[in-house]
Chains A and B, each alone.
Chain A
């Protein structure tokens, strides 16, 4: 009874509104929550300064965004997806399987991932190896992999303070966590000779060890909301938090970034590559929609313009680490010519 009624009501409504999805004069964007603050700033500027409507941006996460983006060509599907990591081959294949063959990749800048703590205590100085040892599920002790035995920082390394290891970080669904694991944890694992050997002999086993974060309460999954992590750090001075640089930038009066391999996470250090735990941010454009949905080339032009992504652009004010001039110019060209991934792969060969 109930479902019959609902279904018939829905069908009636669907009849009444069928066709509304056909015409669309507004760009639709999905994707990463890390890129979201930057993409929204560009979209707003774009909407205000041009005759086009302000694009609609959904924060779905990198993976979710690419999945939506790759589900097909047509006005029911998004035109652009933001991503805090490069598109994977499996995703390119999934795209192609649904007829999305012409994807344009545009890098918009960098984002640093920082480990930070409250200003009420001293600044931490860590190496990647220490980060790995503190957070990995299994660590090598005396030539054998054992469940992580370290309870305090001092137990791990005598030079570190005698406080409990407690790190608040994002859950596995987060792009920030993916990047942190890849850059900091894997980097740290490589620095341990035994694991470096393992990497030579069995790459898969190495990744399994390097990417597994401990689950015994010393790493606390604090949700996707970085503001919440900042608030929790304030309340708990002994804890460290993992989040994007823009949150450190905005809360510099409350929290301080830990040195990583002796380098402080500052705007300059991330921009010139001194601070190594940083990742590139991208967005992907569906070329088939250019000319169908109005404003896509103009939106890309706004995103890659000097006043947005340049060294003194408004995105830098929002915490984005801008690319060097030459690289920005390169992506501006890519956007102008709408060079698809397959075309640029032919032209440039594999990228490192």
Chain B
């Protein structure tokens, strides 16, 4: 056998023999399989996300519209202000519900009997009377006039027009009786019922009446709370990270602190709530249910995340930057503040946003400091009682009225929108400060 054929046959053995081909095929197959696993994992994640979003949006989108009825309202002087005093006090305390009732009776003059009338009046929201009151207080010249006013329907009527109360089931099995369904149909035939964009939902505070309940109180509460959280945890977190990473000596104490910070990042959030109750409320005597305290508790919870992310970002800045700065005569503080920190800022911002997003979704620690509460008034400052979006979701999910189901999903949509806005702000900030070398 010549050398050439020997070499050829050896090549054949190693690279082109059947066994080699099989090995090669196996390796390619393994590679494809690996990619498929990855695709499969992403597929599952996308499917879950899609499922979640469709179910939430599918259930919640109807909450953004509201059924209203246009009624001819007689602002009768003898009901509102019989003595023609024009006094605000008198106008404010007048019986506006009577106006709503009488204009409903005009629509259905043949309804008689106490029970029947009650059933008829139940079709319109109790908020209608308050709406008329506000109209009159804003413009007292309305007294004595007659005009068409669009007032909200009750939650049950609203559910009926949205198709959640079925008319084909027995009378005892739905919240509206046959007569009420008849009246609603009649109102619709007369063209008095309208479906409009639900501004109430976006502008008012919580309410026990689903048709009057709004998310704005919780949005303001969340904004205030997260503002306090950000103002506390960002500067403190960055300062701690810079000190620990750039200046602190490596000894047993700093090791201990590092271990503790890493542990704190994994502590269940309710523990921070208990800490807040003991320290901020009982020791410092701060008010309950205040966004200030909520923000402080959430800042405690977020701090470890910010510090850990901050240290990682600082560590990722190449040593050459530091050495160059020190080499041209910058002091250590100048080096950190003018060169290292700006480069690390995008990473720190990412960490902060992750922490803030977690804070946005928390309700457990807020339970301990009284923010899981029914609050109607829109919070006006850092110490006025307020609640936050996840708590609002929880409270509505726990309410017996059927109409709160769509409100719950709509509140989740608002929460997600809030989260997206926050992330968007972070991405934009990061773009602006991002440096490449």
Contacts and interface: CB of A to CB of B under 8 A. Distances in A.
A179 B236 CA distance: 49
Nearest to A38: B208
A96 B260 CA distance: 42
A306 B402 CA distance: 26
Given A10-B284, A54-B377, A312-B118, A5 B397 contact: no
B227 interface: no
B174 interface: yes
Interface in B87-128: 118, 122, 126
Interface residues of B, number: 55
A53 B377 contact: yes
A246 interface: yes
A43 B244 CA distance: 51
Contacts of B166: 253
B303 interface: yes
Interface in A1-18: 1-2, 5-6, 9-11, 13-14, 17-18
A278 B285 CA distance: 40
Contact of B175 (A1, A6, A14, A250): A250
A166 interface: no
Contacts of B78: none
A290 interface: no
Interface stretch (A56-64, A133-141, A199-207, A208-216): A56-64
B305 to A, nearest CB: 13
Contact of A5 (B169, B172, B239): B239
A157 to B, nearest CB: 29
Contacts of A44: 207-209, 376
Contacts of A312: 118
B383 A17 contact: yes
Given A6-B300, A57-B374, A21 B118 contact: no
Contacts of A9: 232, 236
Interface string A145-186: 000000000000000000000000000000000000000000
A112 to B, nearest CB: 13
A17 B397 contact: no
Contact of A17 (B292, B307, B398, B399): B292
Given A53-B377, A250-B175, A20 B383 contact: yes
A226 interface: yes
A57 B374 CA distance: 5
A56 B174 contact: no
B417 interface: no
Nearest to A16: B292
Interface in B271-327: 279-281, 284-290, 292, 296, 300, 303, 307
Contacts of A250: 175, 400-402
A57 B174 contact: no
A259 interface: no
A226 B398 contact: yes
A33 interface: yes
Contacts of A249: 400
B397 A47 contact: no
Interface in A298-352: 312, 314, 317-319
Interface string B384-422: 010000000001011111100100000000000000000
B196 interface: no
B153 interface: no
Nearest to A119: B173
A252 B400 CA distance: 12
A315 to B, nearest CB: 10
B372 A58 contact: yes
B176 to A, nearest CB: 11
B240 interface: yes
22 contacts: A1-B243, A2-B303, A5-B239, A6-B300, A6-B303, A10-B284, A14-B284, A14-B286, A17-B382, A26-B385, A28-B288, A37-B400, A41-B208, A44-B208, A44-B376, A57-B374, A76-B285, A251-B400, A252-B174, A253-B169, A314-B126, A319-B400
Interface of B: 118, 122, 126, 130, 166, 169, 172-175, 207-209, 232, 236, 239-240, 243-244, 257, 260-261, 279-281, 284-290, 292, 296, 300, 303, 307, 370, 372-377, 382-383, 385, 395, 397-402, 405
Given A17-B383, A59-B373, A253-B169, 8 more contacts: A2-B307, A10-B284, A18-B285, A28-B288, A40-B374, A44-B376, A224-B398, A253-B173
